[in-house]
Amino acid sequence: MPDVRRALVAVALPALLVGACASDGDDTGDPTPEPEQTADAAACEQPDDCPLRVVAGGADVLIGTAVQSDLLESEPAYAEMVAAEFNSVTPENALKWDAVHPEPDTWTFEDADAIVDFAAEHDVAVKGHNLVWAQELVDSTPDWVEEIDAPDELRSALEEHITTVMEHFDTVDRWDVVNEPLQTTGTELYDNHFHRVLGPGYVAEAFEMARSADPDAALYLNENIVEYSPGKRDAFVELVTDLVDDGVPIDGVGLQLHLVNGAPEAGVVSDLVETFTDLDLEVAITELDVPLRESDDLSSQAAVFDQVVEECVGAGCRDVTLWGFTDKHTWIDSFLGPGLEPLILDDDYAPKPAYDALWQVFAAQS
Ligand code: G3I
């Protein structure tokens, strides 16, 4: 099983092997949609009484999951569980640049449209993921974009992409504008194609373009591993602070929390939330999963879910998204290996102790 270093690289593995409260002052309203506030939440005394989306709503929290459009179509149990348990979804891949804009004049929105339509049908909010993600091996930037070396041409392509996608998906209320802007296990801006051609200001430019494209959407910067790496954590705080100080239209930050090496040090998540809340930003958990290590069991896994979600929600997070919800369908299987059971329902969609732990965190915050 991964030790600390291997675990950190492992979280980065997809990026090596294959593949975000109040705004900056131009107040665009509360960036986190109001979860349903139903009287039902008062009746939620134990997990069998009501689903996650109701008990989380009682705590004023969105509970979300990454979803795959083909599974919504092909697997009834998958679709039923998403609609029943979650009030937010993030297209796992369907809204990425390579999925929606694979060639300069080709726009392929069907898969993401299917997810957005499903969400609308079931009163579920949609988080857009992501507008810009460029790294060496795994990312979502098509080759045709990485072949543009003229700054003005690349800037035009970026603006056309962001504008066209956000205007088409105008019911998407939150966007990961830039995903993983920092080096995977470093402390500098990732030297990706946009950084090389447009300079470090590409991050701010992407947010400006996104704000112009949809002034009502909440704009997030999404990052991984900051929960484990103090250096990357400090670098992320510095990057976000600079964006806010420069008046860049950022509304929130996303902490991915792919917890391949178990629980972060106690207090790291709540301290991060407080730091960003002091900058008038929303903080969301955006891609939570907890693969089992040899030393783990379902009870210790539940304790990890409990720790990070309790710290986040207790410090003011109102948006918690899992990177999938059933062990039957998880990116972990392809990227870190099968059988690591990282999510809250098992292969048969039965709740695991982690489900109950999440449920109890929301119930306690209601
Ligand atoms: O759809 C094609 C299929 O037609 C083809 O046969 C198959 C084999 O080549 O590939 C399929 O596309 C894969 C896609 O997932 C859908 O399954 C891509 O190769 C594969 O790279 C892609 O992996 C995704 C990865 O991001 C890269 O985009 C994972 O599912 C997804 O869970 C992962 O999610 C990322 C977040 O976006 C950002 N944070 C890290 C997280 C984990 O890496």
Residue 289 CB neighbour total at 10 angstroms? 26
User: Which of 13-17, 69-73, 140-144, 250-254 shows the lowest mean pLDDT across its residues?
Assistant: 13-17
Q: What is the pLDDT of residue 42?
A: 81
Residue 190 CB neighbour total at 10 angstroms? 20
35 — pLDDT class (breaks 50, 70, 90): low
Q: Check: CB of residue 240 under 8 Å from CB of residue 253.
A: yes
Q: Model-level pTM?
A: 0.91
Residue 222 lies in a domain: yes
Q: Which has more confidence, 286 or 23? A: 286
Residue 33 has pLDDT above 70, yes or no: no
21 — pLDDT class (breaks 50, 70, 90): very low
List, chain by chain if needed, residues with CB within 6 Å of any ligand 1 atom.
Answer: 14, 18-19, 92-93, 96, 138, 140, 179, 224, 256, 287, 331
- DSSP state at residue 42: G
Residue 21 lies in a domain: no
Distance CA 121, CA 144 (A): 35
Residue 81 lies in a domain: yes
Residue 42 lies in a domain: yes
State the average pLDDT over residues 207-216: 98
Which tens digits make up the pLDDT trace of 51-92?
Answer: 999 999 999 999 999 999 999 999 999 999 999 999 999 999
Residue 208 CB neighbour total at 10 angstroms? 18
High-pLDDT (> 70) share of the chain, %: 89
How many domains, in total, are found in the chain?
Answer: 1
* Ligand 1 atom at minimum distance from 98 CA: 28
Domain range for 236 is 3-15+28-365
* Ligand 1 atom at minimum distance from 140 CA: 28
Q: What is the pLDDT of residue 40?
A: 74
Residue 82 lies in a domain: yes
Distance CA 46, CA 172 (A): 32
Distance CA 140, CA 98 (A): 5
Distance CA 34, CA 55 (A): 14
Q: Would you list the DSSP string of 52-110?
A: HHHHHHHTT-EEEEEE-HHHHHH-HHHHHHHHHH-SEEEESSTTSHHHH-SBTTB---H
32 — pLDDT class (breaks 50, 70, 90): low
Residue 46 lies in a domain: yes
Mutational pocket test of ligand 1: of 8, 11, 69, 92, the residue with most ligand atoms within 8 Å of the beta carbon = 92
Residue 131 lies in a domain: yes
Residue 109 lies in a domain: yes
Q: Would you list the DSSP string of 289-305?
A: B-PPPTT--HHHHHHHH
Residue 102 CB neighbour total at 10 angstroms? 13
34 — pLDDT class (breaks 50, 70, 90): low
41 — pLDDT class (breaks 50, 70, 90): confident
At 119, which CATH number? Answer: 3.20.20.80
3-state secondary structure of 181: coil
3-state secondary structure of 170: coil
